[in-house]
Chain A
Amino acid sequence: MASSNYTQVVVPPGLGGQDRASRSGIWVGIFAITMSFAAFTSALYVRQGSGDGVHIVLPPILYANTIALLLSSFTIEMSRRGIAREVGPEALGLRRGTDWLVATLILGLAFVAGQYQAWRYLAAHGLYLATNSNSSFFYVFTAMHVLHLFGGIAALVYLIRRLVGVRRGFRQSLFDATAIYWHFMGVLWLYLLLVMSVRL
């Protein structure tokens, strides 16, 4: 791809309210999602008060998935730095930034595929959604996390299209918001993994 196509693609963050609103908006959204998962967690604790939980062994692939998701946080950060250095000789930073972003998308999709494998693993061991309360919570936690991750994946696809597609250009603040959300997905996953290892 010709380097000239990359120049002036990204509108750097200004002092405008719209840019700041994107950033506030993503934090507000993160706050709401945190609240939802707090509700799920308290549901787990209350439900386990019945004492009928059956311990389940977490599928080992979860740990590989965790590494993929944490790596993707690294790649999106590299992408952000590249894109922030958009202006330069042949917009090299922007091109590299795009590559890092594609890598983030691939890692994200790999995580989702890995989670699917985890569900198949549990099903192969006879543990379905309604088998017992612990398996119920496993499926609920992981599925809700993947559902939220799809939001991040949609944003990644949008940004990549706006970097290499026919219609180009987006605000830097939108990229920043996507990156913040993506990091949050990683943090949320670590939290869920911790809760599941301790309580399920």
Chain B
Amino acid sequence: MEEATVQPAHVHAPPEGFIRKHVFSLDHKVIGKQYYGLALVAVFMGMALSWLMRFHLVWPNTKVPGLNLLSSTGAPGGVITPEYYLSLMTMHGTLMVFFVLTNAPFAGFGNYFLPIQIGAEDMAFPRFNMMSFWITFIAFGVLVLAFFIPDGPPISGWTAYAPLSAVGKDAGPGLAWGQSLWAISIAIFCVGQLLGSLNFIATTLDLRTKGMTFMRMPICTWAWFITSAIGLLAFAVLLPACLLLLLDRMAGTSFFIPSGLVISDHLQNHAGGSPLLWQHLFWFFGHPEVYIAILPAVGIVSHVLITNMRKPLLSAKVIIYSMMSIGFLSWMVWGHHMFVSGMNPSSSLLFSFPTLTITIPATIITLIWLGSLYGANLQINAASLFALGFVSMFVSGGVSGFFLAQPSIDIYLHATYFVVGHFHMVMGVAAIFGILSGTYFWFPKMSGRMMNETLGKLHFWITFIGTYCIFMPFHYLGMAGNVRRYSSFVNDFMAPLMPVHKFISIAAFVTGAAQFIFLFNLIYSRFRGKPAPENPWHATSLEWSIPSPPPWNNFGGKHPVIYHDPYQYGVKGSKGDFVMQDSPEQA
């Protein structure tokens, strides 16, 4: 394979001044941390919203002190209205999917570590990189603004199904300016992600250092590379969809709004639009988005597991090829979100088959992890525990996918909590476990200090048990016919299920509270943690060959030369049972 040559000079000068160093920085490491920081803010906001939802589901008429200050109409006297519950749900989903699950594992860690892991001094286009973060930041600001306008946040869910999302204020609170802000925010977000993906691809293709062939790239580098290819295509479709939605809302067009639609006694002045068109465009982005969230986590977890097993995987190559297959198949399955949307039943079958096929590469990846763990002397630390937790969530959440992939079963389960349980486990919590595993693993490199392991393990056990307590019962609720998106069940036929809901809510409060242990650990360790050595985990990839934290130009102006694949563990090297990628010694 052709070897890349490093550019003769650094792509930008050393940063000077506070603004260039920390705000409008061109340095991929600073931009990575900015993405991570934004995701951290978003995840705690999203979590707070889920607490409010869980509280309302169980105690619908109880006041939440102070909530009326946020929205006097959505929570008059502090009691959440059913409509405001939907607003909270929309914002929870949007914040989590876009600003957490896309930002942290892909844009955050990817920005920080992809250039270092391939031996580059920075991304290919540092200015685009800086723009991509600040565009994302603006998108976040626009979205959050929806909380503070009289209209409030939209009630159409993170999927913004038309015509509900397209018709405007007649359809309910939050659907005037709130929904417009949502669509503008997501359109801006797409631009940021497109710039980011372009950067990741060009960097991986062209800035690999001498000896860094494709197959010598770490699995997580591969994961970011494949994810950027998926992101490039997915966000390139969501952006036009959002533009058409905005035109329907603001310019009177009828892309998504059908004829003769009467809402709140008003005949809508639109004709001939197709609500299914929105679903097609949205899910053509939406399903690949699942892999944008999960593949970087697969990469991170593989990287962490190998390092802590002190031996290579059964086959790193097969994991890489499986990730590619998942990426490829992700384009053929979007219709499985629409089995109950009124598609031709024959198309359901067409979408069901590739969906079931995706379980093959996913199962191969899992079996490689489990097979490699068998007989391994796994080092137990917070990073490896969260990696194991990821595997567990990935399997538990993935298994319910078998059921939902089949139209005949999905028709029954689609509108129930079964689906909520499924996607929270396999996409939401699993990706979060990947992010947390990556955080405990790379924090020493990023900050120059170690995190507290005891607090990390405590954080893991509460989170691990807690998430099972929250999301496993969701599946049972779904099988019992508990519909989703309803704000309250106390006064109807689902009242007998309330004890389960109470259990889930309490588990959610406890698990959420445990995240403050993590936050404390993160902030405390940043300033008071034990100083981190260059290579605390005795790992082999390039990020561990440079100081912690790395200098602005990563390798101090030198260009590393690569001699090995990244997983030379369980060998006799001069430093121990491993040989670094840039070490010329023979393993």
CA distance A52 to B203 in the complex (A): 47
The range of chain B's interface size is 35 or more
> Which residues on the A side are within 8 Å of B546 (C-beta)?
none
Cβ-based interface call for B237 (8 A): yes
Shortest Cβ gap from B338 to chain A (Å)? 13
User: Which of B8, B201, B276, B284 contacts A28 (CB under 8 A)?
Assistant: B201
Contact A32 B232 (CB under 8 A): yes
Please name the residue on chain B nearest to A129 by beta carbon.
B251
> Which residues on the B side are within 8 Å of A20 (C-beta)?
4, 205-206
Contact B252 A129 (CB under 8 A): yes
Contact B233 A17 (CB under 8 A): no
User: Which of B207, B235, B247 contacts A17 (CB under 8 A)?
Assistant: B207
Cβ-based interface call for A39 (8 A): yes
Cβ-based interface call for A5 (8 A): no
> Which residues on the A side are within 8 Å of B198 (C-beta)?
25, 28-29, 32
Shortest Cβ gap from A134 to chain B (Å)? 11
CA distance A152 to B391 in the complex (A): 46
Please name the residue on chain A nearest to B238 by beta carbon.
A39
Contact B239 A136 (CB under 8 A): no
Chain A residues 23 to 49 lying within 8 A of chain B, measured CB to CB, are 24-25, 28-29, 31-33, 35-36, 38-40, 42-43, 46-47, 49
Cβ-based interface call for B23 (8 A): no
> Which residues on the B side are within 8 Å of A144 (C-beta)?
240, 243
* A-side interface mostly: helix
Cβ-based interface call for B202 (8 A): yes
Please name the residue on chain B nearest to A136 by beta carbon.
B253
Contact B236 A43 (CB under 8 A): no
Contact A52 B253 (CB under 8 A): no
Contact B202 A43 (CB under 8 A): no
Cβ-based interface call for B457 (8 A): no
User: Which of B236, B244, B251 contacts A35 (CB under 8 A)?
Assistant: B236
User: Which of A15, A18, A47, A49 contacts B11 (CB under 8 A)?
Assistant: A18
User: Which of B194, B237, B272 contacts A50 (CB under 8 A)?
Assistant: B272
Across the A-B interface, how many residue pairs have beta carbons closer than 8 Å?
Answer: 125
Please name the residue on chain B nearest to A38 by beta carbon.
B237
Q: Per-position contact with A for B560-582: 1 when CB-CB < 8 Å, else 0?
A: 00000000000000000000000
> Which residues on the B side are within 8 Å of A31 (C-beta)?
232-233
Shortest Cβ gap from A199 to chain B (Å)? 15
Please name the residue on chain B nearest to A37 by beta carbon.
B240
Cβ-based interface call for B498 (8 A): no
> Which residues on the B side are within 8 Å of A24 (C-beta)?
124, 201-202, 205-206
Q: Per-position contact with A for B237-270: 1 when CB-CB < 8 Å, else 0?
A: 1011101100100011111001100000000000
Q: Name, among B202, B244, B273, the residue most crowded by chain A CB atoms within 10 Å (CB to CB).
A: B202
Cβ-based interface call for A198 (8 A): no
CA distance A16 to B7 in the complex (A): 4
Cβ-based interface call for B73 (8 A): no
CA distance A46 to B4 in the complex (A): 44
Contact A17 B241 (CB under 8 A): no
> Which residues on the A side are within 8 Å of B236 (C-beta)?
32-33, 35-36, 39
Contact B8 A16 (CB under 8 A): yes
Please name the residue on chain A nearest to B231 by beta carbon.
A32
Chain B residues 172 to 228 lying within 8 A of chain A, measured CB to CB, are 194, 197-199, 201-203, 205-208
Q: Per-position contact with B for A140-171: 1 when CB-CB < 8 Å, else 0?
A: 10001000000000000000000000000000
> Which residues on the A side are within 8 Å of B273 (C-beta)?
47, 50, 133
> Which residues on the A side are within 8 Å of B259 (C-beta)?
50, 52
User: Which of A17, A21, A33, A46 contacts B274 (CB under 8 A)?
Assistant: A46
Cβ-based interface call for B5 (8 A): yes
Contact A39 B237 (CB under 8 A): yes
Contact A18 B247 (CB under 8 A): no
User: Which of A16, A29, A33, A46 contacts B277 (CB under 8 A)?
Assistant: A46
Contacts A15-B5, A46-B274, A50-B258 supplied; 5 other A-B pairs, CB < 8 Å: A18-B11, A21-B124, A25-B198, A39-B236, A129-B252
Per CB-CB distance, the 7 closest pairs between chain A and chain B, nearest first, are A130-B252, A21-B124, A52-B272, A35-B236, A16-B7, A21-B206, A50-B272
5 contacts between A and B (CB under 8 A): A25-B198, A36-B237, A46-B280, A47-B274, A144-B243
